[in-house]
């Protein structure tokens, strides 16, 4: 088209000479026109093209020009010029055409409206994206910015370093609240070509995917328990009919997010085991935090209430092994449960035991860190922690296992002490422990002297008793069981048996060897021999 | 015989599975941390979302310096600082954050780290008051939830301090941790390093510089650790240069034998000096809440309450 236009320009030029115009002025005019057309080829803006409107627009009204415009080659030329132009220059071109047909007011109005509507929709989109990047627009409240979609380009301070966008696989999925179409991924996939201009493509606005209401997903069946911190409901999923337990933590009256919730969520996210309760989902709605757990029929303390003289020997063995198996998995992941007690051990209909309530749990660090000694319910707290030790480790949980082992044998707690007024309020509990396990021997346990609340003069010189002497019900676990119980209830923490070693104790010799080869997510009742044994 | 000698000098006897006092092998713990790190941090270098008014690396460094100061002021352990920075970095590199809210994100990160690692339960207003921030408890709670949502409720991230502690434990030198506390803080506050190198690489570099200061045959144990961590020595060498230049730029003493043998209590008291403030002020503007160099006498943290019997 521009070649043809140049022909007409030369016609214009002759006419000008005939009219005795100044030669230099005409030369300048001609030069301006040439540069103007070169500008069109290279997609320069109107303001950047000198003398753009004068000649070209006049040529539009030339009688020969219509045939040129309708020709295929002119369209091809126009298309090839779009290689160099982005949307804005195309827009100008539309305006240019529109201005060319100025004579018809109807067409003028119509085309202006169309242009404006098309343009305004784009502008709105652009504006929204542009304003989206400014905090004034998309941050009505100060926290809403966190739900913005990331459209990052590197802002790396080191100039020599390459810039890569954070992979979606490593990033949490972007929230879908934004209506701004992001073409970054399109640009990455397709090379820019003459027939593809990503800036001109408009995608439909992303659907607002609002997070589903937990009440729409689950139907409450019954309340399982209520405390000052949370309420637990038995619920049915409306999607697949599965039964789950919803733990609702009310936050509106709490000043901060409870540390128990953060720990439980953070730790259970990485613990998938057949003997650890599964955390399916987390919701934060209506000023409350809801944890969706797998449903378990009851806890061990309720089961013990139904069996006041303890459980059958085979059930004791099965439950203890599952407890050790779940705990060993935690300890391998360097996580201390720190609140083992029958209330936190859940049972299902098949006799599967699962560890629950990781609100006091913590990831075990290297030994330099000290922890609070105010952990674990008093009855299940080991003597070293009762005497103020703060550098405990997995042995803390193993004492609790021993107490639970004894409790499921007899049906009653082995050390049911009470908190007393004497500092640090653990004298009664320690007295109960020493009366059965004997007073600490400084030769066997030299570190005891360094414990802050070690006061040997407060206690009589107790001697260690056999478990049968304490309660004849211990006969049901035989000698091997009593030996294992003694290994779990060692006063000195370093002498306590670990969960992994306890599972290899002869007490469990009757179990098939394959039990040690099961995958973490496989229940021990996958083995037929054990399925036949259980009586729960 | 030669092999045995090498093992003794290289410290790979520790890598064979030295048990810590609790029966947890530091090798196991290190491997677990490395696995988590590999899973969580796949793309390096890290980048921030760009845009007008969005957080830049300078803002990030300023807030990290503020986190270090705030942690000391609250009397928290160094691993809380390190985890808070790890959480903060993960959030700012995952979502777009206007720079005016970046301090709120830092406060939220610190609060989450404290709740995960510290056994002191503290009410939110007390915590905010001790930090000298003007956020309300509700704002803090909402920020915590937002951060946890970004982290998909997995805030137990691997962090620099823990990996360094594991590596030193492998070498049987975890007692050196307090002497490099300040060095680690400067690493945490330098985005050029943290955005380009994983925590594990930074940790090995730190340990290598520490070992180099005490033993000229430092390459053997460090290459053994690097093999165990599956990190190339070229990357470690690249990082070492930058780490040592950072320390020298801020006039930190290189961890020499004399320095390491010095009284650790003196080292601790050094940490209370305003070196981090100097760092802040020399490079960037300090956060509004960080311009209180004096130690705040605050009520003793309440002990964690046990669950009722």
Instruction: Give the tens place of pLDDT for each residue, B74-87.
Output: 888 888 999 999 99
Do A288 and A310 belong to one domain?
no
A237: β partners: A218
**Of residues A266, A375, A381, nearest to B153 (C-beta):** A266
Q: What's the CATH code of the domain at A268?
A: 3.30.200.20
Model confidence, pTM: 0.67
Q: How far apart are CA A417 and CA A412, in angstroms?
A: 12
The string of pLDDT tens digits covering residues B20-47 is 444 556 787 888 888 888 888 877 788 8
As for how many domains chain A has, the answer is: 3
Contact B154 A266 (CB under 8 A): yes
Does B304 contact A at CB distance below 8 Å? yes
Query: In what order do the strands lie in the sheet containing A345-347?
Result: A298-299, A345-347, A353-355
More confident of the two residues A439 and B286 = A439
Q: How far apart are CA A94 and CA A92, in angstroms?
A: 5
Do A19 and A124 belong to one domain?
yes
Element (H, E) at A61: none
Do A233 and A316 belong to one domain?
no
Q: Cis (ω within 30 of 0) for the bond into A318?
A: no
Element (H, E) at B31: helix B26-40
- Decide if pLDDT at A113 tops 90: no
Question: Cα distance from B214 to chain A (closest Cα, Å)?
Answer: 22
pLDDT of residue A276: 96
More confident of the two residues A211 and A129 = A211
Confidence bin at A23 (pLDDT 50/70/90): low
Do A278 and A342 belong to one domain?
no
Domain-located, residue A327 = yes
- What's the domain range around A419? 298-533
Contact A142 B101 (CB under 8 A): yes
Do A394 and A423 belong to one domain?
yes
The string of pLDDT tens digits covering residues A393-408 is 889 999 999 999 999 9
Out of A294, A319, A344, a domain closes at A294
Which residues have C-beta within 8 Å of that of residue B235, sequence separation ≥ 6?
B197, B201
Tell me how far apart the 2 most distant CA atoms of chain A are, in Å.
Answer: 132
Sign of the Cα torsion B102, B105, B107, B109 reads negative
Catalytic residue among A339, A357, A384, A397: A339
Six-digit token pair at B27? 């090798």
User: By CA distance, what is A394's nearest residue in B?
Assistant: B22
Do A326 and A285 belong to one domain?
no
Domain-located, residue A422 = yes
Out of A90, A108, A129, a domain closes at A129
Interface subset of A 347-386, CB within 8 angstroms of B? 360, 362-369, 371-372, 374-379, 381
Contact B100 A362 (CB under 8 A): no
Considering chain B, what percentage of its residues have pLDDT values greater than 90? Answer: 23
Mean pLDDT of B82-110: 92
pLDDT of residue A533: 76
Task: Kindly report the number of other CB atoms within 10 A of residue B85's CB atom.
Answer: 30
Q: What's the CATH code of the domain at A380?
A: 1.10.510.10
pLDDT of residue B41: 83
CB pairs under 8 A between A and B: 235
Interface subset of B 75-114, CB within 8 angstroms of A? 77, 79, 91, 93-98, 100-101, 104, 111-112
Do A343 and A358 belong to one domain?
yes
Confidence bin at A334 (pLDDT 50/70/90): confident
The string of pLDDT tens digits covering residues B278-296 is 444 344 333 333 333 333 3
Q: Does A247 show up as a binding residue in the annotation?
A: yes
Confidence bin at A50 (pLDDT 50/70/90): very low
Alpha-helix residue ranges (DSSP H) falling in A42-86: 52-60, 65-70, 72-81
- Decide if pLDDT at A239 tops 80: yes
The string of pLDDT tens digits covering residues A63-100 is 443 333 444 444 443 443 443 333 444 444 444 444 44
Does B297 contact A at CB distance below 8 Å? no
> Which of A210, A196, A405, A175 lies closest to A310 in space, CA to CA?
A405
Do A452 and A470 belong to one domain?
yes
Does B57 contact A at CB distance below 8 Å? yes
Do A467 and A322 belong to one domain?
yes
pLDDT of residue A374: 61
- Decide if pLDDT at A181 tops 50: no
Does B300 contact A at CB distance below 8 Å? no
pLDDT of residue B254: 62
Out of A97, A129, A161, a domain closes at A129
Domain-located, residue A206 = no
Q: Measure CA B215 to chain center.
A: 25
pLDDT of residue A202: 42
Confidence bin at A371 (pLDDT 50/70/90): low
Least confident range of A15-19, A71-75, B7-11, B56-60 = B7-11
Least confident range of A167-181, A311-325, A498-512, B273-287 = A167-181
Kindly indicate whether the ipTM for this predicted assembly is greater than 0.90, answering yes or no. no
Six-digit token pair at A344? 């936190």
Do A435 and A489 belong to one domain?
yes
Does B263 contact A at CB distance below 8 Å? no
Domain-located, residue A154 = no
Element (H, E) at A180: none
Interface test with A, best of B106, B306, B308 (most A CBs within 10 A): B306
**Of residues A149, A251, A262, nearest to B148 (C-beta):** A262
Does B299 contact A at CB distance below 8 Å? no
> Which of A439, A440, A435 lies closest to A415 in space, CA to CA?
A435
DSSP β-ladder status, A335-336 and A362-363 = antiparallel
pLDDT of residue B5: 35
Domain-located, residue A157 = no
Domain-located, residue A144 = no
pLDDT of residue A362: 81
Considering chain A, what percentage of its residues have pLDDT values greater than 70? Answer: 56
More confident of the two residues A157 and A266 = A266
Contact B22 A169 (CB under 8 A): no
Interface subset of A 145-164, CB within 8 angstroms of B? 145-158, 161-164
**Of residues A153, A363, A368, nearest to B174 (C-beta):** A368
Question: Cα distance from A129 to chain B (closest Cα, Å)?
Answer: 11
Do A237 and A348 belong to one domain?
no
Confidence bin at A124 (pLDDT 50/70/90): very low
A222: β partners: A234
- Decide if pLDDT at A237 tops 50: yes
Least confident range of A69-73, A293-297, A442-446 = A69-73
- Range from A181-195, A291-305, B10-24 that averages highest in pLDDT: A291-305
Domain-located, residue A187 = no
Which residues have C-beta within 8 Å of that of residue A203, sequence separation ≥ 6?
A181, A183
Residue with the two structure tokens 């309660």: A471
Establish whether A348 is a catalytic residue: no
The string of pLDDT tens digits covering residues A462-500 is 999 999 999 999 999 999 999 999 999 999 999 999 999
**CA distance readout (Å), B62 to A56, B45, B205, B286:** 58, 20, 23, 6
Least confident range of A86-95, A238-247, A299-308, B128-137 = A86-95
Domain-located, residue A497 = yes
Do A481 and A497 belong to one domain?
yes
């Amino acid at each position: 088209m521009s070649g043809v236009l140049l022909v007409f320009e030369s016609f214009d030029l002759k006419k000008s000479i005939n009219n005795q115009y100044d030669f230099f002025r005409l030369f300048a005019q001609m030069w301006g026109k040439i540069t103007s057309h070169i500008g069109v080829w290279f997609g320069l803006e109107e303001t950047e093209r000198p003398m753009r409107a004068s000649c070209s627009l006049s040529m539009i009204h030339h009688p020969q020009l219509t045939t040129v415009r309708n020709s295929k080659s002119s369209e091809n030329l126009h298309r090839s010029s779009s290689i160099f132009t982005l949307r804005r220059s195309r827009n100008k071109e539309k305006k240019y055409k529109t201005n060319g047909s100025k004579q018809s007011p109807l067409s003028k109005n119509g085309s202006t409206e169309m242009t404006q509507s098309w343009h305004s929709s784009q502008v709105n989109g652009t504006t929204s994206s542009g304003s989206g990047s400014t905090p004034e627009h998309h941050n009505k409240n100060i926290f809403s910015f966190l739900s913005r979609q990331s459209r990052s380009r590197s802002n790396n301070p080191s100039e020599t370093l390459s810039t890569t966008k954070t992979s979606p696989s490593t990033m949490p999925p972007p929230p879908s609240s934004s209506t701004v179409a992001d073409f970054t991924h399109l640009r990455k996939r397709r090379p820019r070509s003459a027939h593809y201009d990503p800036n001109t493509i408009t995608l439909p606005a992303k659907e607002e995917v609002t997070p589903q209401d937990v009440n729409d997903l689950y139907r409450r069946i019954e309340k399982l328990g209520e405390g000052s911190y949370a309420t637990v409901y038995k619920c049915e999923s409306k999607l697949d009919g599965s039964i789950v337990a919803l733990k609702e933590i009310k936050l509106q009256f709490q000043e901060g997010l409870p540390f128990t919730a953060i720990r439980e969520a953070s730790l259970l996210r990485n613990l998938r085991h057949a003997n650890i309760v599964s955390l399916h989902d987390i919701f934060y709605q209506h000023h409350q935090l809801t944890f969706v757990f797998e449903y378990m029929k009851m806890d061990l303390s309720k089961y013990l209430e139904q069996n006041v003289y303890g459980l059958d020997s085979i059930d004791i063995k099965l439950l203890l092994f599952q407890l050790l198996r779940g705990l060993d998995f935690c300890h391998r992941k360097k996580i201390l449960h720190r609140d083992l007690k029958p209330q936190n051990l859940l049972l299902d209909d098949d006799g599967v035991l699962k560890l629950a309530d990781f609100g006091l749990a913590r990831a075990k660090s290297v030994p330099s860190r000290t922890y609070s000694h105010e952990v674990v319910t008093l009855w299940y707290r080991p003597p070293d922690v009762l005497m103020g030790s703060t550098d405990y480790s997995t042995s803390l949980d193993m004492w609790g296992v021993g107490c639970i082992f004894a409790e499921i044998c007899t049906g009653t707690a082995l050390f049911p002490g009470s908190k007393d007024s004497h500092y640090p309020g653990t004298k009664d509990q320690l007295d109960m422990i020493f009366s059965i396990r004997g007073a600490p021997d400084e030769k066997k346990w030299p570190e005891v002297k360094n414990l802050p609340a070690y006061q040997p003069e407060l206690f009589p010189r107790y001697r260690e008793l056999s478990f049968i002497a304490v309660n004849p019900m211990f006969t049901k676990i035989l000698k091997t069981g009593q030996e294992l119980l003694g290994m779990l209830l060692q006063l000195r923490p370093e002498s306590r048996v670990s969960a992994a070693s306890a599972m290899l104790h002869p007490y469990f010799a009757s179990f098939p060897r394959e039990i040690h080869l099961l995958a973490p997510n496989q229940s021990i009742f996958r083995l037929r021999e054990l399925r036949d044994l259980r009586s729960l | 015989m030669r092999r045995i000698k090498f093992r003794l000098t290289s410290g790979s006897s520790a890598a064979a599975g030295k048990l810590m006092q609790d029966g947890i092998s530091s090798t196991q713990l290190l491997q677990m941390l490395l696995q988590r790190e590999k899973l969580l941090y796949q793309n390096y270098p890290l980048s921030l979302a760009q845009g007008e008014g969005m957080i830049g690396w300078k803002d990030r460094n300023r807030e990290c310096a503020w986190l270090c100061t705030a942690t000391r002021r609250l009397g928290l352990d160094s691993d809380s600082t390190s985890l808070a920075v790890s959480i903060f970095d993960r959030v700012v590199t995952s979502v777009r954050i206007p720079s005016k809210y970046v301090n709120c994100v830092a406060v939220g990160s610190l609060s989450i780290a404290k709740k995960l690692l510290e056994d002191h339960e503290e009410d939110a207003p007390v915590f905010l008051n001790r930090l000298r921030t003007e956020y309300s408890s509700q704002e803090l709670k909402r920020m915590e939830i937002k951060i946890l949502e970004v982290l998909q409720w997995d805030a137990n991230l691997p962090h620099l301090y823990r990996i360094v502690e594991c590596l030193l434990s492998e070498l049987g030198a975890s007692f050196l941790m307090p002497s490099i506390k300040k060095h680690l803080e400067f690493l945490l506050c330098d985005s050029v390093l943290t955005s380009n190198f994983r925590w594990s690489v930074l940790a090995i570099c730190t340990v290598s510089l520490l070992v180099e200061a005490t033993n000229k045959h430092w390459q053997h144990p460090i290459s053994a650790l690097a093999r165990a961590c599956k990190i190339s020595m070229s990357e470690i060498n690249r990082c070492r240069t930058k780490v040592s230049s950072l320390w020298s730029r801020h006039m930190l003493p290189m961890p020499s034998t004399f320095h390491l043998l010095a009284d650790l209590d003196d080292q601790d008291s050094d940490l209370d000096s305003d070196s981090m403030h100097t760092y802040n002020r020399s490079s960037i503007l300090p956060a509004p809440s960080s311009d209180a160099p004096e130690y705040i006498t605050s009520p003793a943290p309440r002990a964690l309450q046990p669950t009722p019997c």
